[in-house]
Structure 1
Amino acid sequence: METPRSADSPFDPASHTPDVILRSSDNVDFYVMKSFLAFSSPDFFAAMFSLPQTQHDIPSPSGLHIVPVAEDSKALRILLLQCYPLDLQDEENDVIDIARAIVAARKYVMDIAEKRIEKILFSKALFLLERHPLHIYMPWLVIPSSHLSPSPELNHITGMDMYQLNECRHRCVKAIWDWYFKNKHGFEEQGPWGELVEEPYVWFDERSHKDRTSGQLCTFECTQVLRQDDWNLHPPDEEVIYNIYATPWWTAYFVGLMKAIELCPSKQTVLKFSEAYYDALRDSSSCTFCRLDGARHLDYFKGGFGWNVEAIVKKEISELEFQTSN
């Protein structure tokens, strides 16, 4: 694992008087003050800091308590800067990182920070709409449109902008569905001689289930799934139906995940879709065969599928932007 490194000022060890460390998902340590976090997030961080430390706390050379968080260092820095009373110059940030910071602010119930970051995002949006008009739509695929708060900056967005946003979301959802069902749904691992060997996911591996002679095993069922999205473009006689032949616990997880993706077609949706993920782990553990590899395969699927979702979204936005400019 990569050795943790310290964040840049004002979150390095020498800045201010830190009393806790937030460790980002990419192993960057942010030295921060509990008082500012607690003030910005009374329902989350203030409540957490009031609890006693446990034997599972992560030790640090400085002796400070380390709190691992799911956000990467770019999004976390944007968020924390809005919690400190500092007069800093505007930093150059990618709109996707800003959008992720908004999602984090909502998760930690940082209402004031969320509003401030939304203003930053809208200020970037006006700049990008002139140069890359569709690139600015990527953050809206991370944040459900129903969760955006009213802002005066929305006066700068036209009806055509909103139409293109809906078109972009619809195209991304369709492309993700089509890509998934055109693939074999297996994955490749390194063989004993360095070759790539395909190993099917346990939820598709019916033969291995049949080869088991004892224990409780999953059944395999064919389920028809109707693709829908938040635009509902398909008339009844043109509905798009996909067939999934797999274990029921996998189908339930995947259908729930795709419904979430239809609202937010993004990598973050795949990685943070937790409730159905734990339900799938629970249900798969009742199968003698699935319990052996179910958790490992699910984690592998989430990582690979999330990466492909992100690539598909970027490709669709680039193609749509090219068509719009010609």
Structure 2
Amino acid sequence: MPEPPSQANSNDVARQKVIRDAPPPFNKRAADVILRSSDHVDFRVRQSILAESSPFFEAMFSLPQLPESRKRKERDETEYRDGIPIVDMSEGSRVLDALLRFCYPVEDPALPYLKVTCEVLEAARKFDMTYVVAQVKKQFLSRAAQQPLQAYIVAVTRGWVDEMREAAKCTLRREMRWDAYIPEMEQISAGAWYRLRAYHSACSEAVSKLVDTTQPNEDGVVMEWLTTTQWPWFTCLCSQPASQKPYTAARIPCRSAPWWEDYLKDVKLKLKDRPHRATIVESDAGEQHLDRTTCRTCLSQKISRKMHLKEFEGLLIQEIDKVMSRIQLEVRI
């Protein structure tokens, strides 16, 4: 026979409120407070550890305590367990477990997913846990490097300005398919998406100009960041073909080796797609173009040419960083 409605409802409530114990080290009987997660998992913890980790909990535990006689009068299963006071938390057990592990003298947890990372970071900020915030932000940045668009969207929905900008920077490391759809896009406005694309475009334009010999500035200078043209690709005999139009670099009229011109065109295209220092660090385009040259001098001095290439790319990377530091994602909260 089916249970009467009232009895069935009460049984459902009872099943929903089955209390589980958290795993070690949050199941010790010596604890002096229990944090009960929103999914009914009890974390037995020490007030002193939480107070050291969080001004929020320090203030909570410093409140005047009830007299023992009043405690006995008001004690019931929802407020006390085994004589230990219970604090109901709005966080789920997965978030609470990670949060507490950062506070306890155990190994910091590795947060498995971007969603969990953001939930833990949100809770750490809520409880003003400075150390936890710093550690979780590192993991957020690691996740953002793998999922920059998702990280940007999560940051936008939470109003996290720093994380928005860091996630936007991470998009620069990848060749972005702006016509691709991901479900998370439904969570943000067209304006937020537009501002991310505008940031990426501004970076692409500014960084690719660093290696563009076809678009001089108002003074007629290309690669104005160069301080010298005393590089072998400017001085080799193969850099003097009469058919090549000279340009002004480092305020000195010059021509460059054909393989070097091809290298710059290649790097410019790469930087348009990935306007980031990693594009140069991870590329061997210079060496590839040098290997294909027909210039006997360049081939005979290939080793020294490659060393000079590394020096040039080191300077280019520094310049990319300078340019990037001047470009900021527009943020609207």
TM-score between both structures, scaled by the size of structure 2: 0.43
Larger Rg over CA atoms: 2
Task: Kindly indicate whether structure 1 or structure 2 has the higher relative contact order, using CA contacts under 8 Å at least 6 residues apart.
Answer: 1
